[in-house]
Amino acid sequence: MNALFDPRYLTRNILIGMGLGAAIGTGLNLAGATPEAPGFWAGEAFQLVGDVFVRSLQLLVVPLVLLSLIVGTASLNDVRKLGRIGVKTLVFYIGTTAVAISIAMLLAIVFRAGSGFELNYGAEFAVKESPGLRTVLTNLFPKNPFAAMAEGNMLQVIFFAILFGIAMCLSGAPGKRVLAIASDLNEIVMKLVVILMLAAPFGVFALVGKTFAVQGFSTIAALGQYFALVLAALLLHMFVTYGILFKVFTGLSPVRFFKQMRRVQLFAFSTASSNATLPLNLENAEHNLGIKRAIGSFTIPLGATINMDGTAIMQGVATVFISSALGVELGIQGYMMVIVTATLASVGTAGVPGVGLIMLAMVFQQVGLPLEAIGVILGVDRLLDMVRTAVNVTGDAMVSTIVAKSEGEFSQEIFDAEEPVWEERN
């Protein structure tokens, strides 16, 4: 029983929870569970446990992002350094997103995604109207920071936290006193993360069980080519693109990096939520990857909001798949437009609910594809979303490590530790 609640065995317990959830969920699916009639276990019991667990983690997101960014920004002590770090971070986030969607479209074109597929608009689909550029830019700036926190508008929370941190840097002694208080509060929130992580295997079991119960494998078989191409592009981007960038810009071992990221990736896969994974990713960055808090507390919350490589990959394959199924020839100009639109949309629509579908709708509108066609791929989207989230959080940590190494805010000793420090200290 002690091993079940021992943080040292968290990775193992999460894997057990995933395996049991997948097995029981598949059994429920074979017994007749469907999205329309999931039954008691999938529709009530699993849903309840999964929802409570995710909401428990999401309640930490706003205070964690706010305090982490304030502490990280104020700890830099130099506004010019903050600007340099910000530019580096944005360049890597936007650059990797452009590479991600390019890889996805190349794979889809080479393997002729959608050829021979009979398009059926029977699936239900609804997406909110895509915001205009002026609206997107205006919404970056909060008119009431407390309202932004209450509504969970993370871009506005980030903007306010950075401004507040800069003001603390410029305030001298008062700023240092507030920084000490904010640092203590941040430690308390991090400890709360550790406490909630003890329930992770149960939450993972319920979330994975629900997904496999209502989705099963029938929807994957119906869209097998699309599913396989998106999955291949996601894995290629995560292990090859990230691995090469990590090695080139840090000189460190990509194998060690992925080993230190395994718990975060498993958790992101099971929850399919970057926000829910954010507390664990922050903790892991400091205590397993060796990223100093001054960098990690700035780059990782920003990445959780605007870095959407996994979503961009889905958009690239989906666009080629649907256009081919409809017999629409996009051409080189159309493909370039998809890359530019998806890359910019990953930043511009970051604070909008249902961001993945809105971004895809923006891309479809840009190249003249019908929005109703998005409903065709929704059947397998939940399972792919789990992998996309793992890719996204890995990208956040990868870029953060590169930036930390370049700024001398990195601990080689922690990164090279055979046993994760986070586990030892608990």
Decide: residue 14, CB within 10 A, 0-12 exposed, 13-18 middle, 19+ buried: buried
Question: Which residue would you say has higher pLDDT here, 363 or 154?
Answer: 363
Q: What's the CA gap between 217 and 81, in Å, rounded?
A: 50
- Torsion angle of the four alpha carbons 278, 283, 285, 288, in this order, in degrees rounded to the nearest 10: -140
Predicted pLDDT of residue 398: 96
pLDDT of residue 123: 47
Give the pLDDT band of residue 181 (cuts 50, 70, 90).
Answer: very high
Residue located via tokens 């971070």: 89
Report the DSSP beta bridge partners of residue 291. 410
**C-alpha span between 203 and 344 (Å, rounded):** 34
CATH number at residue 182: 1.10.3860.10
pTM of the shown model: 0.74
Alpha-carbon distance values, 126 to 240, 323, 349, 379 (Å)? 35, 19, 17, 14
pLDDT digits 0-9 by tens, 82-94:
788 888 998 999 8
Q: Which residue shows structure tokens 């409903």?
A: 375
Q: At residue 155, what is the residue type? A: L
Residues of the domain holding 68: 3-424
Residue with tokens 């979503």: 311
Give the E-state strand segments of 113-230 in sequence order.
none
Question: Tokens at residue 180, please?
Answer: 């000490």
Least confident segment among 109-123, 314-328, 398-412: 109-123
Total number of domains in the chain: 1
Mean pLDDT, residues 2-10 taken together: 56
More confident residue, 85 or 358: 85
- Residue range 253-276, pLDDT digits in tens: 999 999 999 889 988 888 777 777
Three-state DSSP class for 410?
strand
- The pair of structure tokens assigned to 44 is 């009530």
